[in-house]
Chains A and B, each alone.
Chain A
Amino acid sequence: MVKVWSVAIVVALGLTGLIGRGLAPRLETEAHYTAGDIEQARESVAVTVLGQFQMMSGDLMWLKTFEYLHSGIIYRMPTRREEAAGVRATEFSGMGSGVAHMDGPSLVPDQDRDWRSVLGDLDRQIEPWRPGAAEHSDPKELIPWYQLLTKFNPHYVQAYTTGAFFMSDFAREPTKALAFLELGAKPNPWSFEIQSALGKLHFDYFKQYDLAADALAKSVELAKEEKAYLARRGGEFDEKQEQMLAETYLFLARSYEELGEYDKGLAACDAGLAEDPTYNLLRVEKRIINKQRANASSQDDESPI
Chain B
Amino acid sequence: MKKTVAVAYVTILESVGRKDPYVVLILGFAMLLGAGIFSRFGVSGVEKFVKDVGLTITTVFSLVVCVTAAARQLPTEIQNRTLHPLLGKPISRAGFYLGKFIGVGVMSSAVVIVFFILVRLILLLFKISVGGVFYQALYLRIISMWFIVAGVLCLSLFATHGATVTISLLACLCIQMFAHTVLYVHDELTGISLRLAETIYWLAPHLELFDLSKKVIHGWPAVPAWVLLGMTLYGLLYAGIFLAIGCLRLRRMSL
Chain A residues at the B interface, C-beta cutoff of 8 Å: 9, 12-13, 16-21, 23-24, 68, 71-72, 74, 76, 79-82, 107-109, 115-116, 118-119, 122-123, 125-128, 137-138, 140-145, 147-148, 167, 171, 173, 176
Contact = CB atoms under 8 A, between A and B. Distances in A.
A60 to B, nearest CB: 12
B58 to A, nearest CB: 16
A242 to B, nearest CB: 30
B44 interface: yes
Nearest to B217: A72
A74 B214 CA distance: 11
Contact of B214 (A72, A109, A142): A72
17 contacts: A13-B121, A16-B35, A17-B35, A17-B39, A20-B33, A23-B36, A71-B220, A72-B218, A118-B230, A119-B202, A123-B209, A125-B224, A126-B223, A128-B215, A140-B44, A143-B46, A148-B49
A141 B47 CA distance: 8
Interface residues of B, number: 48
B180 interface: yes
Given A79-B187, A127-B214, A141 B49 contact: yes
B45 A109 contact: no
Contact of B35 (A20, A107, A122): A20
B139 interface: no
Main secondary structure on A side of the interface with B: helix
B14 interface: no
B39 A21 contact: yes
Contacts of B19: none
B215 to A, nearest CB: 6
B35 to A, nearest CB: 6
B37 interface: yes
Nearest to B48: A141
Contacts of B42: 176
Given A81-B187, A108-B183, A171-B45, 19 more contacts: A16-B32, A16-B35, A17-B35, A20-B40, A21-B39, A68-B218, A80-B188, A119-B202, A125-B223, A126-B210, A126-B212, A126-B215, A128-B218, A140-B44, A140-B45, A141-B49, A143-B46, A144-B49, A173-B44
